[in-house]
Structure 1
Amino acid sequence: MDNALSILSARLIAHRFIPRNDPLARRALVDEDFRRSLDHRLAEVGLVLLENPYAEYLAVALADDMNAFVFGDGDTWLSNNMGLPRDAIALLVVLWARIILPKRERQIARAEKEREGQSDMFGAEKPLAQGEDVSVGIPEDALYADFREKLGGKTRMNTNLGQLARLGFIERRNKVILEGPLLDLMLDYASLAPRVIEGALGEVLKRRAADAAPE
């Protein structure tokens, strides 16, 4: 086990994320003793494992109590520890709301439907649905049209999109923005979703959906 722990820990730290279907990643998700040892090993260097039942990747992040020691006493780490400017953070939230939020709602609905149809006594312990409802890409031109006036203009947005892509939050292919490995892991659905749905961004997204609906 010790060698496997070393390999998995090193890969997570070096690559920041690994696919969920990787053999060692799968072992960390199903083997309680292995997962406990992995959590302990990461904690020894101030890290925590990031995973959720719907995400296609596992990742590592800095433990909350390490922020001040690593990033000092400045204000940057209070909002994020990747050095992102405010408009980039705002853009990241918009992308999360446009890509992850609808995908997660479909996944949850599918999981609930499957559980309602299960008749075996261990049905509730089966893994949640994942990977079947893929996220939908966003055309860059559509994003610019909707948000460039609010997020610093097209040039500034393009710069921030490049930074988010380098960090692994998104992928850009043929002028379409797609979900990156970290988009579904680094932002907490449980705390962010209600704020988006009930807040101003939720109203903006609802209006856009209404405008795009066929007559």
Structure 2
Amino acid sequence: MDQALNILVARLLAHRFIPRRDPLARRALIDETFRASLDHRLEECGLLLLENPYAEHIAVGLKPEMEEWVFGEGDNWLSNNMGLPRDAIALLVVVWALIILPKRERQIARAERSGDTQSDMFGAEKPIAHGEEMAPGVPEDAIYADFGKKLGGKARFSMNLGQLAKLGFVIRRNKLIHEGPLLDLMIDYARLAPRIIEGALGEVLQLSGTQIAVEPVTEDLLDAINDD
């Protein structure tokens, strides 16, 4: 087990995420003993496993109690360890709201109809609604039309979008923005979704029939982003 555990941890740290269908990833999700050893190994380093039954990948993140030690405090506090400026984080939240929220609503509805649950503490071997609830792409031009000026203009928007793609949050294809491997893992859905759905973020954006409330990111919202 030790060798398999070492390989999995090394791959997670080196690649930042691995597909859920990977044999070692599946083992971590369905083998209770292996998962306990993985959690212990990561905890010793101040890390935790990031996974949810709806995501296609797994990753590692920083334990909450380690954030102050890693990111500093007061004026020195860093919003993330990926080098993202504030306007890029704001764009990330906007994209997450447009892609993940509608997809999750469909996934939850489908899971309830089929009787799927999330009671298994290790999650399912395959993500819920695997392959059937793929989020449609969001037009880059539409997001820029609504938020471009607030996010620094065309040059900043394009640069930040490219950085999000490079980090694995999004995939850009034919002027459409698609969900990347980390988009559904690195943001705390339980904390951020209610603020968006209940209108706590301000303006209501309507795009492709989806109404979501979004505004520039605040310090409080930055806390909802899991840093790897």
TM-score by length of 1: 0.86
- 3-state SS of 2:67 partner: helix
Identify the residue that residue 35 of structure 2 maps to in structure 1: 35
- 3-state SS of 2:91 partner: helix
Number of matched pairs: 206
Shift of 1:42: 0.9
Instruction: Indicate the structure with greater helix content.
Output: 1
Shift of 1:75: 4.3
- 3-state SS of 1:195 partner: helix
List alignment gaps of at least 5 residues for structure 1. Answer: none
**Superposition pairs for residues 78-117 of structure 1, below 5 Å?**
79-115=79-115
Shift of 1:158: 0.7
**Superposition pairs for residues 143-154 of structure 1, below 5 Å?**
143-154=143-154
**Superposition pairs for residues 3-152 of structure 1, below 5 Å?**
3-73=3-73, 75=75, 77=77, 79-115=79-115, 127=124, 128-152=128-152
Structure 1 residues 29 and 202, CA gap change in structure 2 (3 angstroms): farther
Highest RCO, 1 vs 2 (Cα 8 Å, sep ≥ 6): 2
Identify the residue that residue 192 of structure 1 maps to in structure 2: 192
C-alpha RMSD over aligned residues: 2.5
Q: For structure 1, which segment, 72-81 or 38-47, has the greater mean C-alpha deviation from structure 2 after superposition? A: 72-81
Q: For structure 1, which segment, 196-205 or 24-33, has the greater mean C-alpha deviation from structure 2 after superposition? A: 196-205
Find the aligned partners of 1:26 and 1:77 in 2 and give their Cα distance: 36
- The 8 Å contact of residues 20 and 56 in structure 2, kept in 1 or not, is answered as yes
Identify the residue that residue 180 of structure 1 maps to in structure 2: 180
Shift of 1:159: 1.1
List alignment gaps of at least 5 residues for structure 2. Answer: 212-228
Task: Tell which structure's C-alpha radius of gyration is larger.
Answer: 1
TM-score by length of 2: 0.81
- 3-state SS of 1:205 partner: strand
